[in-house]
Amino acid sequence: MKEKFLILFLFIFLPNAFSQQDKRDEETYKINDVNIILSSECALSKKEIKQVIQTPTQKYFSYSDFELDIRRIDKYFFDNGYFDVVIDTQLVINKEDKEVEIIFIISPGPEYKINKIKYAGLNDIYQTAREEIFNDDLKLLKERTRYSKNNMQSEIMRIINILNNYGYLNALAENPDVEKIISFSDELKNKVNITLNFKTGNMYRFGKTFVEISNNPKNLKIDEIYKELEYKEGDIYSRKTLVESENRISNIEILENARIQIKNIDTVNNIIDFLVTASLTPKYIFQPEISGYDILNRFYGGISLSFIDKYFFGGGRKFVSKGSGFIHSEDIYLLELSFQLYQPYIFNNNKITGNLNLAWTYFKDDIFSISAIKNIAGLNYVLPKHTYINSFYSSWEINNSKITVNIPIEYPLKDSVVTLPEFQVNLFTSVINFSAIHNNTNNFQYPTKGYYQSYLLEESGLLSYLIEKIISTSTFRYVKFSNINKFYFSLNPPNESTVLACKFLIGALFEYASNKYKITGIEEETDIDIPIPAKFIAGGSTSIRGWQAKKLGTFENREFGGNFLIEGSFELRAKPFYYAKSFFRDLGFVTFIDYGNLWRKPGDFRFSDVAIAIGGGIRYYTLVGPVRFDIGFKFYDYEANSNGTKPWLFENDLETIFKNKIAFQIGIGHTF
């Protein structure tokens, strides 16, 4: 048995014991283990402490690193409100194997809390800035909480940012005063007083803005730069407004490397002049693409070729013509040719933009094919972020479609029923929709906190009903409403590598008038329910994942869509290699519970029909979003009794589960 000795090292002997270890290999000891012992409970965990010190990351023992780690632990506890911490150490030496076990024995002492917080140097600042700084709901440092240096520094940065956004260009923070209270009073025992010291300097205003564009052989005058500025001459200087202006200028397609720099500071009149610098990109570009989309809950991959004019007749307009082809399988595909015009500054307002899209599409499904010409005019209005509704979108779509149903359909005549192997319907629709959106999520590609809510109101039939009277066509008259809610919660801030995402969607479509369709070759009209994009579908990679696309519903012919949908999800998203610097950093995993179903009409809803799916998946995060693969199981199958299986997943044997209760889903982008 290997002999071990327990030695308590005093610091005066340690340098002698290990002073020659770098010169003499025979005295080099490998680190076998590093242990943390807390003599009493405290708010800091052993895992946190190990992340502060260097010794656990090294192979060989180093006295200098060991000594520094003692100081690091002491500082870490001091910075987190444990001013009276005492640190002892032990080393367990195995001379035979030349290994050492390091033990840090920590007595945290009492936890010091903040008694009072004072703010020095802020008495004469702009009133609106004062209101924001002293808003208790926004403060990051609060009385009666444990002292934390990080929280104190975050509060200082918050105040500096506010000062910078209210004209105080040269605002700075001096060293804060942290006063440890010595008192036998229970009220003041283990308390500190904090004074945050600031120097604001003078308040400045925006002056003139100049523009310099390099690489501009045609001497284009990009007036849109001035329209994108979020400030005007004479406004109070704001660093936040300046950054927003720079971001908006960067969105002008023909510009690159756009920057706003200080050109001159007038310290007499407290005015700042700015210079916008940018260079031109090519006006015309051909752009091939390989991409994938979810269409009606099915994944399609394909290629596109675009021609782009980034400065179409000036004015910041952008013109795009694009040809695309996408395929799901040999018999399911989409072809599209489109022309799009983007128009900024409607009503000379940089918050209102518009787009006009003319497109021809041919969509081939396993049930039907659609050849369509459509024109969409859209208007987008971005509202201030502090309002509940911060984005509003409205569009008007005119669509002329030729729909061919490729499966036999029983068609009732007056005295008999005939089976039509194939039939066609000409459909003209005029659809107007209004969407109101609230979005305060913190990240588009990987949201970790905040929520997203949208409300859609859509109407079809007012104009198309008039067209129907003039030409031989069919139309569809309805009013549609949907509401989607998405919530995101970080489970391990601040690194935010684990997120709980929740979704709830409800949608209803109400048909009005007769909604009869004229079938080619038949004189009679029919109320046969044909598939149109306006209807809701369920099942698939972005829906309830235990069912394949368009396979979920409480009625026959669910592939044609229904008029009432409830859908929700709980998804736990994890990136376990968040701190890695390798390929695995962008690897993630999810587990989920999906629920919901599709009904023919709202009055058909039954709680017993709500389907439940469970499962998991893998993600790899890219610049265009995560590439995902999910496996979903029918945890509760509402129609199990009709297909010979048991409703609950665990009531079925493995053969039944893998034959009837499982679905594989792939896609690009988050499920929601």
What are the pLDDT digits (tens) for 471-518? 777 788 899 999 999 999 988 876 778 999 999 999 999 988 766 666
pLDDT of residue 530: 56
Q: What is the pLDDT of residues 19-74, one digit of tens each?
A: 444 443 446 889 999 999 999 989 998 988 998 999 888 889 998 999 999 999 99
191-199 and 113-120 beta bridge pairing: parallel
- CB of 322 within 8 A of CB of 334? no
CB 158 within 8 A of CB 198: no
pLDDT digits (tens, 9 = 90+) for 194-204: 999 999 999 99
Please, are residues 432 and 476 in contact by the beta-carbon 8 Å criterion? no
Q: Which residue has the higher pLDDT, 496 or 388?
A: 388
Please report, as a single letter, which amino acid is at residue 625. G
> Tens digits of per-residue pLDDT, 403-419?
887 777 665 555 566 66
Structure-token match 């501009």, residue found: 216
pLDDT value for 16: 43
- 271 versus 350: the higher-pLDDT residue is 271
CATH of domain 205-280: 3.10.20.310
The domains spanning 113-199 and 205-280 adopt the same CATH topology: yes
Average pLDDT over residues 132-138: 91
Residue in this structure with the two tokens 């009794």, named with its chain if needed: 641
Contact 585, 576 (CB under 8 A): no
Residue 526 pLDDT grade (very low, low, confident, very high; cuts 50, 70, 90): low
Residue 2 binned pLDDT confidence (cut-offs 50, 70, 90)? very low
**pLDDT beyond 70 at 267:** yes
Angle between helices 149-164 and 239-250 (to 10 degrees): 70
Compute the half-sphere exposure of residue 146: CA atoms within 13 Å on the CB side of its CA.
14
Q: What mean pLDDT is predicted for residues 650-660?
A: 90
Pair 538, 560: CB distance under 8 Å: no
Amino acid found at 338: S
Q: Is 165 exposed, middle or buried (0-12, 13-18, 19+ CB in 10 A)?
A: buried
With 0-12 / 13-18 / 19 or more C-beta atoms within 10 angstroms meaning exposed / middle / buried, residue 608 is exposed
According to the model, what pLDDT value does residue 219 have? 66
CB 243 within 8 A of CB 250: no
CATH number of 113-199: 3.10.20.310
Q: Please report, for the chain, the start and end positions of each structural domain, with discontinuous segments joined by +.
A: 5-107, 113-199, 205-280
Residue 512: Cβ-neighbour burial (10 angstroms; 0-12, 13-18, 19+): exposed
The per-residue pLDDT for 515 is: 67
Res 138 pLDDT > 80: yes
Average pLDDT, whole number, for the chain? 87
Contact 357, 383 (CB under 8 A): no
- For the segment 125-135, the average pLDDT, to the nearest whole number, is 93
Q: Is the pLDDT of residue 532 over 80?
A: no
Percentage with pLDDT > 70 across the chain: 90
Please confirm whether the linkage preceding 602 is cis (ω < 30° from 0).
Answer: no
Q: What digits encode the pLDDT tens for the residues 150-162?
A: 999 999 999 999 9
Give me 156's structure tokens.
């200082």
* Percentage of residues in the chain having pLDDT higher than 90: 58
The pLDDT tens digits for 66-112 are 999 999 999 999 999 999 999 999 999 988 889 999 999 999 999 99
Give the pLDDT mean for 2-20: 38
For domain 5-107, the CATH superfamily is membrane protein fhac (3.10.20.310)
